Structure 1
Amino acid sequence: MDRTEPTTLTNMCMLTNDNRILTIDRIDPGWPGITFPGGHVETHESFHDAMVREFKEETGLTLENPKLVGIKQFYDDDDHRYLVLFYRASKFHGQLNSSEEGELKWLTKDQLLNSKLAYNFNHDLPVFFNEEITEHFFYQTDNELF
């Protein structure tokens, strides 16, 4: 029995500052809308280093001590596993700068919840906000999302 499968590794981080949360309004036609900054893990790169690198590329900010808080997994259109590692952080330094990925916005939790979120991102948010939830396994059957 083969115990390996093609997998894409990605990450995203919810950065908080007082009562605000840093968001990105993605312009990617494949996944537009409000979400958290992040991206892909490169070959031979640790998950932590990938998170810090991707966050800096998208925001100009360097995360300090991001904490892994959960995971999302689903199967893509090619039936390959797709993993998203979820991080939270509250310490950072640097100058905030939007990138070609999209516009950065500091939002309150209420503003975030009432924004035009990226597809299915509303199902990810409980992992970030509720310490009792650490995984979102996303699948779709008969037009129902789980």
Structure 2
Amino acid sequence: MQRVTNCILIQQNKILLLKKPRRGWYATPGGKMEQGESIKESVIREYREETSLHLQNPELAGAFTFIVQNADRVVQEWMMFTFICNAFEGVQTEHCDEGILEWVDQDKINELPMAEGDKKIFEHVLSKSGMMYGSFSYTEDYDLLDMQLDPSTP
């Protein structure tokens, strides 16, 4: 099972997002964990690779399982660990191989094209404190089939 980390970086009520070229959907910068790496090491490294920014004290906000399926057959499965952070060092890169980096107003996040599960994660992280645990099932076209969410605090 693949493991990925990402981080919601918030500065002055804006969030740095990555617009992916494949679907034109927005996502949080991050990527695949390397063997032997902790999730915190991974999110700091991946974020720096995509943005050139060095996260300062990212905090784990959620742990999620994602399944892509075709009928009853699982096509892909991965775990994602989402962090939140309010401080960084460095200067943002002008070019990212993964897509276009864009600072977006927090109150505009829900209007952007993105995976439905990501919208639920943003909703929790931006309005509540504490961890969120969940699982999401998608079709191969990334239509949401099912989700189960368990926030640790109401």
Indicate whether the TM-score tops 0.5: yes
* 2:53 pairs with 1:58: no
* 2:19 pairs with 1:21: no
Query: Does structure 2 retain, via aligned residues, the 8 Å contact 1:60–1:95?
Result: yes
Pick from 124, 129, 132: which aligns with 1:131?
A: 129
Tell me: CA distance 1:127–1:9, structure 2 relative to 1, closer, same or farther (3 Å).
Answer: farther
4+ residue stretches of structure 1 with deviation over 6 A?
A: none
What is the TM-score when the length of structure 2 is the normalising length?
0.78
Identity of matched residues, %: 24
Aligned partner of 2:104 in structure 1 is 107
**Distance in 1 between residues matched to 2:24 and 2:34, nearest whole Å:** 22
Pick from 86, 89, 93: which aligns with 2:89?
A: 93
* 2:41 pairs with 1:49: yes
Aligned partner of 1:9 in structure 2 is 3
**Distance in 2 between residues matched to 1:63 and 1:134, nearest whole Å:** 21
**Distance in 1 between residues matched to 2:41 and 2:124, nearest whole Å:** 21
**Distance in 1 between residues matched to 2:55 and 2:84, nearest whole Å:** 10
What is the TM-score when the length of structure 1 is the normalising length?
0.82
Pick from 11, 17, 28: which aligns with 1:36?
A: 28
Question: Where does structure 2 lack aligned partners over 5 or more consecutive residues?
Answer: 148-154
Per-residue CA deviations over 1:91-122 (Å, capped at 9, x if unaligned) read: 10111013110111111112222112246422
Aligned-residue CA RMSD (Å): 2.2
The number of residues matched between the two structures is 137
Letter aligned with residue 80 of structure 2: V
Displacement of 1:79 in angstroms is: 5.2
**Distance in 1 between residues matched to 2:63 and 2:124, nearest whole Å:** 8
